[in-house]
Structure 1
Amino acid sequence: MKVKRKTQKIDPRIPQWRFLTVVGFIILGFIGLVARTAWIQVIDPDRLRLEGDLRSLRTTADEKGRGMITDRNGEQLAVSVPVQAVWADPKAVHESGSLDNDRAWRALAEVLGLDVKELTARIADPRRRFVYLQRQVTPAVAEYVAKLKLGGVYLRRESRRYYPTGEISAHIVGMTNIDGSGIEGVERAFNEWLSSVPSERRVRKDRQGRVIENIGIVKEGKKANNLVLSIDQRLQSLAYRSLKYATEVNKATSGSLVLLDVTTGEVLAMVNTPSYNPNNRGQYQGFRARNRTVTDTYEPGSTVKPLVAVSALENGITNWSEVFDTRPFNIGGKRVTDSHRMAQGSLGDILKFSSNIGMAHIALRMQPQQIIDTLTRFGLGSDSGTGLLGESSGMIPVRRRWSDIERATLGFGYGLRITPLQLASAYATLANKGIRKPVSILKVSSAPQGEQVVSRKDAEAVMLQLEAVVERGGTGTKAEVPGYRVAGKTGTAKVAIAGGYGKDYVGTFAGFAPVSNPRFAMVVIINEPKAGSYYGGSVAGPTFAEVMAGALQLYNVPPDAPQSPELNKPQVNLARQEVKVVPHT
C-alpha cells in the first residue's frame, strides 16, 4: 500500500522587501560610481593626472655638443665626436636574472678592460638605480655590448673631445675633462663660450620607453660657439718640431717658442717642450701640461739690453757716438766681465758684442726708475691680456734703495723676471718702431691701432743696430736667414736658485725680420742646456733661423737682403761727435 506524501508548493514570487533591498544596493552602487567619476573627472582630477604623468612623462635633454676650435685657416684643433657610455641599473640587473649569465659578464669585463670581480661589485647593490661601467667607449665596443643583451645594461649617448694635432698644439689648445669641461689652455679660458646648455623637453613614453607624445620644450638651451685662434697650424708644427729637436740635442730641461705677427699682435705659434698628447689622458701630467710661454718666468739676461738702450737714448744718457771703457771692473766686491773681450766700444758695439760692462756703465748713470718705466711701457711685468689662465705677470723690481751692483745688473737683465710672451711682445713693439699692439691668441679681423710707447726715432735706431748682432762677428750669427735681413739679440742668464745663482743657464734669442719692414717677431728659450754649449746664440739661434725662414717663405714675404753686404744697406745715423771714453765707475 503506497502512502502519498503531501507536496508543499513554493511561492515563486520574491518577497517585496528583498527585491527592494537589492534594487537599493544597485542604485547606491550606481550613485557611488557616478559620484566617484564626478569627483575624479570634475572636482579633483589633478591627483590622478599627476599619478599618470609620473608614470609616463619624462624630461629629456637635447645635447648640442661643444664648440669647435680651429686655427686661423680653418684647420681643426679640437672637435667633439659622438661616443657611447655603458651604464647599468643594478635593480634591473638583479630582477632580470642576467647575473646568471657568467660568460656574458666575463665578455663584458674583457671588452671594457675591467676585472670581472670589479665589474660585478659595481652592480652588487640591488637598491642602486644607476652606475657607470665605462664612459666614452668606441662605436665598435658599444655595438659589441649591445649584442651581449645583458638585462639592466644600457648604452647612453655622449661626446668625446678629440684633438687632431695632438701634442703639437696641446699647450695653447688645452683639453677637457671626461665631462667635457675645459681644464687646460683655451679650452678652459673660453670654456663658457665653447660650452652649450642642452634644451629640455617633455615627452610621454610607454612602458617600453618609446616616445609616444612630444609635449614641448621646457627650457631653451644655449648653442655652443666655435673659436678661431690666431695661430697658424703650419707654423705651429714647424716651430714644435724645431724646438723639440733643439731641446733634445742640447739636453735641455725644457724649451719655449713664441712667434708674433708684428702688424697685428696675433700669436702665430706658441709651443713648449716637453709636451703631452691630450687624446691620451693616461699621459697627462701637470708639469707637461704647463704652458711655459705664459706661466714660467726667467731673467731675460742680455735680451733686455736693447730696451735699456732705448731708455738711455730717450733720457739723454748717451748717444751712438760715445765710446765706453769696456774693460772688466769691480762693483761692491763683484766683478763685471764680458765673454767677448774688448777695451772700448760704442753703444752699437755694446749691443753687437753683448757687453755687460758697457751696459753696466750706462745703467749706473741712470736712475733705476727710468729703466723700469721703459720696461713697463714695453709690457714687461704685466699681464699680456690674452686671457690664458695661469699667466704670470712676472716681476719688475721696485725698491726704495738700490745698491750699485743692483743698478748695474739691471742694465743687462738680472734682477727681474719676465715670461717668453712678454719678451716677444716687447720685441714686436721694438720692430714696430715703438708702437705697442695688444697680444691676441684669437684671430683678429683688422690690425689694431696700437700705442706709441717709446720714441719712434730711438726705437728705430736700436732696431736697425740689432741687425749687426746677426752679422759676422756678432753673437747671433746662427740666427741668420739667407736672403733676409734679421735683427735680434742673444741672451744667456744663470738660473736663479735659493740664495743666489746655480750652474745652469737659460739660452735665449729674441728678434724679428725682415728689418726693412718687420713682419714677424720671435723668442726662443732653451732652459738649462747640458750638452756643452749654453750661449743663447748657439742653442736658440738655429731654431730661430729655421722657424723664421719658414714663416717668411710661407707668407711670401719678399727677401730684402742686398746682393752685397755693403751695398744699399740702410745705416743707423751715427753722427760722429767728439769721442768720449768713460772711465771706470
Structure 2
Amino acid sequence: MTTATEKKRRLNQKPTTVAWRFYVVLGIVALIYCGLMARTAYIQVIEPDMLKKQGDMRSLRTAAKTVQRGSIVDRNGTELAVSVPVETVWADPKVVMDKNGLAMVEHWRALADVLGQDVNKLTSRIVRQPNKRFVYVERQVSPVMANYIKELKIPGIHLRKESKRFYPAGEISAHLVGFTNVDDKGIEGIERVYDALLTGKGGAKKFRKDAKGRKIEILSVEEAQPPKDLTLSIDQRIQAIAYRELKGAVRAFKATSGSVIVVDVETGELLSLVNSPSYNPNNRGNTPANRIRNRAITDMFEPGSTMKPLSLLTAMEFGIADAGTVVNTSPGWMRLGGRRIGDPINRGELTMEEILIHSSNMGTAKLALAMPKEYLIDKFFEVGFSEDTGSGLVGESSGMMSDRNRWSQHELASLSYGYNLAITPMQLARFYATVANGGIKRPFSITKVDRPVEGERLFSENLTADLRLMLEGVVEKGAKKAQVDGYRVGGKTGTSIKAVAGGYGNDYVGLFAGMAPIDDPKVVVVVVINEPGGDLYHGGDVAAPVFSRVMKGALQVLNIAPQLNKVAVKSTSRKELDNA
C-alpha cells in the first residue's frame, strides 16, 4: 500500500529543473536575436558606408582612358612640341615579397643596369616598404626598354603607358615653347600658358565585376575630351635664322646674352622670339636657371637712343616741329639743375633727320623741353612703356616708367634720349611696330590670327611716314651695317650704359630696332646684345649687323620682293667715283 502511494505521489510531482532551463535557453535566444537586430540596425542605419566601401573595393572597377597632350605647331604646321608614347616602370612591393621576387638576383641586376640605377638601392626600396602596393621605379622609359623589362618577368614589376613631351626645334624655340614636367603639366612658356587647352580630359568607364572578374554592370561612362593642337604665330624658318645670327653675335662679341624679336607689322603677330644662351628642353639636366629665363620679355634696360624717334614724333604730333624743322644744338651742351648733358661735339644746327643720324642728345633734349612735360610723359605711357604687350606670355614685365608728378628738366631731357625708364625688348618692338603701321598700337599675339585687332591710333599716319623716311636716312648715312641689299630699311641704333647701385657701371647694352620695306613696312626686327665684352659695344657695331641678316632672311622667307633702294644706288655711285 505504501509503495503504491509513493509511486502515485511521484507521478503527480512536477519537475522543478525543467522550467528554469527553459527560461535560460529562451533568454539566450532572445539576447542573440536582440544582438542580431541591433547589429543589423547599426549596419543598415547608423554606419552602412563602411560595408559598401568594402564591397566596392572588391567589385567596383574604373577603366581610365588617357589622352595625349596636344601638339604645338608654327604658323606653317611645323611641329614644335609633340607627345611620344613611353612607359613607366612601377613595383608592387607586397607581390614582390609574397612571391619571393627578390630571389631573382640576376633579373634585378639586369633591371638596374637597363635603368642606370644601383641594384642595392633599387631592391632596398622594396624591402623598406614590403606592404606598400605602388612604388615608382622609373618614369618615362622608351618602348624598347619597356619591352626588355617586360621580358624579365620579375613578379611585382609592372608597366604603365604614359606620354612624354618631345621638342623637335630644341634650343631654337626653347624659351618660347617652354616645357612640361614629368607629369606632363606645362610649367614654362607656351606649355604653361595654354596648359588647359593642350591637356584635354581623359575618359573613364565605371563598372562592377563578379568574383570571376566578369563585367556584370556598367555604372557610368565618361567620354574623353581630346586636347586641341595649338598654332603659333611663329615662323620656324625665321626663328632658326634669328637664333643662328644671335648665337653667333653673342659668341663673337663675348656678350653675356642677347635677344631678337621679329614682328608682323600688319597683325602684331610674333614671327620670331629668340634668346641666347638657350638650353635643350629635351634634356634639362644641370641647366642653370638663368638660361631658362625668357630674357626678351623679362629683362629690362634703359633703351638709350632707340627712344629718340619717339621724342621727335611726339614733338611733331604736338606741333612744335615737322619734318623740315631745324634745331640749333649749339654750343653742344647745357646744364640743367647743375648737371650737364650734351653731344660729343658741337654739331650746330641739325635737321630732324640729322638729329637721328648723329644721335644728338642736345637735339632731342631741346625738343622735349619745348613741350609741356605732361604731354611728353603721357606719350611714353601711351605707347606702352608701363604695360605688357598683350602677348599673354608668363613672366612678361611691364617695364619701369615713373608716373610721379614732379620731373626735373634734367630728367625730362634724359627721358628724351632713353634714360629714366626701363623697358623690355618686347615693348621696344611694339613701339617700332606702331611707327611702322602708321601710328596704330596693337597688342602682340603669339598665336596665329585670322584678322588683326583694330588697335588704338596714337600718331597720325603722315607724321609716322615722315619719321620712317628719317629712319631710312639713319641706315643710309649712319648705321650702314644695318643695310639690307635690295631693300629700303630704316631703324635706329642705341647704346645704353647699364645702371648699378648708386649710378652707372662699365657695362653696355647694344641695340638696333628697325623696319622694312620702308615705303610699306611688313616686318619689324629688334636686336639686343647685352654686355658685349670686346672692344666693340655700340649698337651700330654689335646689333646692326644681326638686324641686317635677320631682316634679309625674314623678307626672303615672306617672299617680299626686293626693290632698288637709295642705299644701293648711292653706294654704287661711290664705288664708281673711287674707281675713277
Coarse TM-score class (shorter-chain normalised): 0.7 to 0.9
Tell me the SS of whatever aligns to 1:429. helix
Seen in structure 2, the aligned counterparts of structure 1 residues 342 and 48 have a Cα distance that, compared at 3 Å, is closer
Change in Cα spacing, 1:206 to 1:522, as seen in structure 2 (3 Å) is farther
Matched, 1:247 2:229: no
**Residues 392, 50 of structure 1: CA spacing in aligned structure 2 closer, same or farther, 3 A cutoff?**
closer
Contact 1:470-1:479 within 8 A present in 2 as well = yes
Post-superposition shift, 1:203? 4.2
**2:163 is equivalent to residue 163 of structure 1:** no
2:326 aligned to which of 278, 299, 322? 322
2:486 equivalent to 1:483: yes
| Aligned with 1:406 (options 400, 408, 411) | 411
Distance 2:123 2:401 in 1: 59
Q: 1:382-397 residue pairs with structure 2 within 5 A?
A: 382-397=387-402
Residue in structure 2 matched with residue 434 of structure 1 by the alignment: 439
State the partner residue of 1:270: 273
Show CA shifts across 1:342-394 (max 9, x none): 23312211011111121122222223322221122222221111111111000
Query: Aligned match of 1:132 in 128, 131, 136?
Result: 136
Distance 1:286 1:140, change over 3 A: same
- 1:448 paired with 2:453, answer yes
Alignment of 1:208-357 (within 5 A): 215=218, 217-319=220-322, 320-326=324-330, 327-339=332-344, 342-357=347-362
Using the TM superposition, name which of 337-346 and 378-387 deviates more: 337-346
Distance 2:426 2:87 in 1: 40
Any conservation in 1 of the 2:207–2:220 contact (CA below 8 Å)? no
**Alignment of 1:537 onto 2:533:** no
| 1:366 and 2:367 are equivalent in the alignment | no
3-state DSSP of counterpart to 1:466: helix
* Structure 2 Cα separation of the partners of residues 152 and 354 of structure 1: 74
Which sections of structure 2, spanning at least 5 residues, go unmatched? Answer: 1-39, 571-580
Deviation string 1:529-582 (CA, Å, 9 cap, x unpaired) is 011111111100011100100111111112233478679xxxxxxxxxxxxxxx
Could you tell me which amino acid in structure 2 is paired with residue 198 of structure 1? G
Contact 1:175 1:182 in 2 (8 A): yes
| Structure 1 contact 64–224 (Cα < 8 Å) conserved | yes
For the Cα contact (< 8 Å) 1:434–1:459, is it kept in 2? yes
Deviations 1:203-235 (A, max 9, x none): 456889x77568264434432111100000000
Aligned length: 523
Residue 136 of structure 1: CA displacement? 0.2
Gap change, CA 1:51 and 1:253, over 3 Å in 2: closer
Secondary structure, aligned partner of 2:515: strand
Please give the alpha-carbon distance, in whole angstroms, between the structure 2 residues aligned to 1:430 and 1:128: 65
Partner amino acid, structure 1, of 2:439: G
- Name the structure 1 match of 2:180: 176
- Tell whether the 8 Å contact from 2:302 to 2:420 is kept in structure 1 after alignment: yes
Aligned letter for 2:160? Answer: R
Amino acid at match of 2:347: M
1:559 aligns with 2:562: yes
Aligned residue type for 1:338? D
CA deviation string 1:49-92 (max 9, x = no partner): 98665324311210011111000000001111110000001111
Matches of 1:185 and 1:563, distance apart in 2:
42
Instruction: Give the distance between the partners of 2:197 and 2:137, measured in 1 at CA.
Output: 31
The 3 A distance-change label for structure 1 pair 393 and 51 is closer
Between the aligned partners of 1:374 and 1:50, the Cα distance in structure 2 is 67
For 2:125 and 2:103, the matched residues in 1 are separated by: 16
Percent same amino acid at aligned positions? 50
- Worse-superposed segment, 405-414 or 118-127: 118-127
Compute the TM-score of the two structures, normalised by the length of structure 1. Answer: 0.85
Q: Is the 8 A contact 2:278 2:292 kept in 1?
A: yes
Q: CA deviation at 1:490?
A: 0.3
Residue 492 in structure 1 maps to residue 532 in structure 2: no
Residues 341/479 of structure 1: CA separation in 2 closer, same or farther (3 Å cut): farther
Cα deviation, residue 141, structure 1? 1.2
SS of aligned partner of 2:285: helix
Q: TM-score, normalised by structure 2?
A: 0.86
From 176, 190, 193, the counterpart of 1:189: 193
Secondary structure at 1:136's aligned position in 2? strand
Contact 2:300/2:399 (CA < 8 Å) preserved in 1? Answer: yes
Q: Which moved more, 1:423-432 or 1:340-349?
A: 340-349
RMSD: 2.4
Greater fraction helix: 2
For 2:177 and 2:307, locate their aligned partners in 1 and report how far apart those are by CA, in whole Å.
Answer: 30
**1:523 paired to 2:530:** no
Change (3 A) 1:428 1:549: same
| Structure 1 residues 170 and 430, CA gap change in structure 2 (3 angstroms) | same
> CA shift at 1:161, angstroms?
0.6
CA deviations over 1:155-203 (Å, ceiling 9, x no partner) = 0111101101011001110000100111100100111111122111124
Per the alignment, do residues 400 and 235 of structure 1 end up closer, same or farther by CA in structure 2, a change over 3 Å counting? Answer: same
Give every structure 1 segment of 4 or more consecutive aligned residues whose post-TM-superposition deviation is greater than 4 Å.
Answer: 46-53, 203-208, 210-214, 563-567
Call closer, same or farther: CA 1:60–1:318 in 2, change over 3 Å: same
Partner of 1:260: helix, strand, or coil?
strand
Q: 1:54 aligns with which of 52, 57, 65?
A: 57
Q: 1:334 to 1:56 in 2, by over 3 A?
A: same
Q: Which residue of 1 aligns with 2:6?
A: none
Alpha carbons of structure 1 residues 561 and 335: separation in structure 2 relative to 1, 3 Å: farther
Q: Distance in 2 between matches of 1:556 and 1:258?
A: 19
- Structure-to-structure mapping, 1:145-164, within 5 angstroms: 145-164=149-168
Partner of 1:15: none
Amino acid at match of 2:247: K
CA apart distance, 1:154:
0.4
Query: What CA distance in whole angstroms lies between the structure 2 residues aligned with 1:104 and 1:218?
Result: 40
2:326–2:349 contact (8 Å) kept in structure 1: no
Deviation at 1:339, TM superposition (A): 4.7
